[in-house]
Amino acid sequence: MYAPTHEELEANIIRFDDIDERRSHYRPRDMLLPRFERERYSVIGRPGEGSTKGTALGDVKAFSVVYLRCEPGKGLASHAHASAEVFVVMSGQWELDVQGTKTALNPFDVISVPPDLFHGARNIGAEPGVMMAINEGQTGVPIRLDPVILAELAAAGHVVTDPEFPPGVGDTRTR
Single-letter amino acid, residue 133: A
Could you give the dihedral angle defined by the CA atoms of residues 111, 109, 101 and 37, in that order, rounded to the nearest 10 degrees?
-90
Split into its structural domains, the chain has a count of: 1
98 in a structural domain: yes
109 in a structural domain: yes
Write the pLDDT tens digit of every residue in 88-143: 999 999 999 999 999 999 999 999 999 999 999 999 999 999 999 999 887 778 89
89 in a structural domain: yes
- Structural domain including 110 reads 15-155
Q: What DSSP character marks residue 29?
A: G
172 in a structural domain: no
64/138 Cα distance (integer angstroms): 5
Write the pLDDT tens digit of every residue in 25-75: 889 999 999 999 999 998 888 777 766 555 666 667 788 899 999 999 999
174 in a structural domain: no
52 in a structural domain: yes
10 in a structural domain: no
29 in a structural domain: yes
Parallel/antiparallel/unpaired status of strands 144-145 and 75-80: antiparallel
Say what the pTM is: 0.86
CA nearest neighbour of 139 among 69, 56, 42 = 42
CATH of the domain at 139: 2.60.120.10
Neighbouring CB atoms inside 10 A of 166's CB total 21
